[in-house]
Amino acid sequence: MIKYTFCLLFLFLLAFSLKAQNCNCGDNFRFVVEKIKKNYIGYNDKVSSSNQLQFQKFTDSLQNIATASSPYKCTGLIRDWLSFFEDKHIDFGIDFSKLSPDSVRFFFENEEKTRWSESIFKSYLKNNDERLDSIEGIWNFGIYEIGIVKDSTKRDLEFIGFVIKADSARWMPQQIKFKIKKTGNQYETIYFSGGDHSINYPNLIVQKDLLDFGLFGRWKRGEKKTKAASPSKIVPPELMASFKVLDDQTSLLTLPSFDIKYKSRIDSLIDNNKDNLSTTKHLIIDVRDNPGGTTGCFEKLIPYLYTNPIHIDGGIVLATEDNIRDCYEKDYSYSSLETRKKIKKNNEKLRAHLGELYPLYKPETIKLSKTLKKPERISILINKNTASSGEYFILRAEQSKKVTLFGQNTSGMVDYGEIAITHPPCVFFTLIYPVAKSLLSLKRPLDNIGIAPNVRIPEREKDWINFVRNYKTN
């Protein structure tokens, strides 16, 4: 009885906490709408006289739904509204640092679950070994250990991926993480729930002991071998830059992220491999699945690419009070003293032009005194997950006569950029949106189109590195 009373008290206090933060979905939806109208630099590009009426009806319809919805449903509703802008730099989610583990569990307690427990599932695998589909079994990635099993409630061949082990807060045992459909010998994602339970639809590549969901992880067959670190402390190996000599003529530089926290590693990697870079005939640079970060991460690589002046288009900023505070006046203590001085000077310029579309970034041209003889040939691997600053790297690199782009079109996230981060009335939520616009977009819009490769790698090709090594240039 005491335990039951305590649980009721906890739920009451948690509900009170949500209310005290004003987590009313209708109010938070309204906040996001007004914030985007006032501060998103792409708003007037996306909402015009031709679609204004349709957009208003769409907004009003979702506002009515939001007013009657619980905080738990708000993330999806607001993301539905933001999807109208088709801008991958806009997002809305939950800031888990503002929630205790108990609060997180409460927030997601109504998520879809399966009847499969760990013990029942392991017994099923043991007793049906010869009848299992090749994808059924236990898989792991990061903090997750997942069971994949046929969905007996479906007539078609479908599978559910349910949690066996995770962080015991955002994800609990038996909650369904993803669903997969099989047609013939091909598997495809029905949906995949992200860390914040958002619904996503990544492509899936299935190999013998690997499920590759792209940005949502490369899942390996089997149970976790070691205890996972807390989510905030995990540095996935697939995000670590690396350099490898493949043979006497070819080297591979892998750059999975341009996040500022990896800058020192990338710089050191290039410095430590100067001799290799200056002697290799063919350099392969792999920026597949690189979500971007900062252009400073690839500055040291430019001399190896350079053959002729590289033009960089400038950009304009919507100079509102919100944008200056939430983007440019954030804590940039990790930046160099020179960079912080430049940021301070830019802030002064923006404040002197409040309410304007201010040309903060002038077009410029990179001119170097010499062209390095080697590498003679540079092949860059790109795919649909190469995004943002990853694409800015490509825009510079493609101007070199040494460079050939291989793969698929990039993500298309360079028309708008420089992110403002803000919290609605419910501080558990976070809204991000871009405040700057590239001048390149006026003559070459790339959002949701991406940068096309010079050589498209066929879908059936599994080993892109080998494809590029063996590709014969004219």
For residue range 142-161, list pLDDT tens digits in order. 899 999 999 988 888 999 99
What is the average per-residue pLDDT within 172-190? 94
**pLDDT confidence of residue 20:** 55
Residue-by-residue DSSP string for 322-382: HHIIIIITS--TTS-HHHHHHHHHHHHHHHTTTTSEEEEE--EEE--S---S-SSEEEEEE
In the chain, where are the structural domains located? 19-100, 118-233, 237-319+356-414+450-470
Kind and range of the H or E run holding 150? strand 144-150
Query: How many residues are listed for the chain in this entry?
Result: 474
Whether the per-residue pLDDT at 474 is higher than 70: the answer is: no
Residue with tokens 């009335």: 425
Its pTM stands at 0.76
Half-sphere exposure of residue 201: CA atoms within 13 angstroms, side-chain side: 2
- Evaluate whether the domain defined by 237-319+356-414+450-470 bears CATH number 3.30.1130.10: no
Highest-confidence segment of 3-7, 144-148, 293-297: 144-148
Q: 87 in helix, strand or coil?
A: coil
Whether the per-residue pLDDT at 71 is higher than 60: the answer is: yes
Band the pLDDT of 342: cuts 50, 70, 90. Answer: confident
- The dihedrals phi and psi of 225, each to the nearest 5 degrees, come to -85, -30
**pLDDT confidence of residue 332:** 67
Band the pLDDT of 47: cuts 50, 70, 90. Answer: very high
**pLDDT confidence of residue 238:** 56
**pLDDT confidence of residue 214:** 85
What residue spans of 21-70 are helical by DSSP H? 25-39, 43-46, 52-67
Interatomic CA distance for residues 223 and 164, integer angstroms: 10
pLDDT in tens, 313-340: 999 999 999 999 999 887 766 667 777 7
Interatomic CA distance for residues 255 and 392, integer angstroms: 14
Question: What contacts 265, CB < 8 A, 6 or more positions away?
Answer: 240, 241
pLDDT in tens, 75-90: 889 999 999 999 999 9
**pLDDT confidence of residue 208:** 86
Q: How far is CA 170 from the centre of its chain?
A: 19
**pLDDT confidence of residue 9:** 38
Interatomic CA distance for residues 99 and 94, integer angstroms: 9
**pLDDT confidence of residue 35:** 97
Interatomic CA distance for residues 23 and 15, integer angstroms: 10
**pLDDT confidence of residue 334:** 64
Band the pLDDT of 304: cuts 50, 70, 90. Answer: very high
pLDDT in tens, 201-212: 899 999 889 999
Whether the per-residue pLDDT at 246 is higher than 90: the answer is: yes
Band the pLDDT of 237: cuts 50, 70, 90. Answer: low
Mean pLDDT of the chain: 89
Cis peptide before 309 (omega within 30 of 0): no
Whether the per-residue pLDDT at 231 is higher than 70: the answer is: no
Kind and range of the H or E run holding 321? helix 321-323
> Percent of the chain, pLDDT > 90?
69
Residue with tokens 């898989």: 139
> Percent of the chain, pLDDT > 70?
92
DSSP, res 462: -
DSSP, res 165: E
Other C-beta atoms closer than 10 Å to the C-beta of 120 total: 11
Whether the per-residue pLDDT at 438 is higher than 90: the answer is: yes
The answer to whether the CB of 366 falls within 8 A of the CB of 302 is: yes
Other C-beta atoms closer than 10 Å to the C-beta of 260 total: 15
Whether the per-residue pLDDT at 122 is higher than 80: the answer is: yes
Give the residues across from 179 on adjacent strands: 160, 191
**pLDDT confidence of residue 230:** 45
Question: What contacts 112, CB < 8 A, 6 or more positions away?
Answer: 175, 176
The answer to whether the CB of 315 falls within 8 A of the CB of 439 is: yes
Lowest mean pLDDT among 110-119, 177-186, 231-240, 277-286: 231-240
The answer to whether the CB of 351 falls within 8 A of the CB of 443 is: no
The answer to whether the CB of 18 falls within 8 A of the CB of 411 is: no
Q: How far is CA 272 from the centre of its chain?
A: 29
Whether the per-residue pLDDT at 240 is higher than 50: the answer is: yes
Other C-beta atoms closer than 10 Å to the C-beta of 381 total: 24
Whether the per-residue pLDDT at 296 is higher than 80: the answer is: yes
More confident residue, 414 or 229: 414
Interatomic CA distance for residues 210 and 84, integer angstroms: 35
Interatomic CA distance for residues 233 and 231, integer angstroms: 5
The answer to whether the CB of 448 falls within 8 A of the CB of 412 is: yes
DSSP, res 141: E
* Cα torsion through 169, 174, 179, 182, rounded to 10: 150
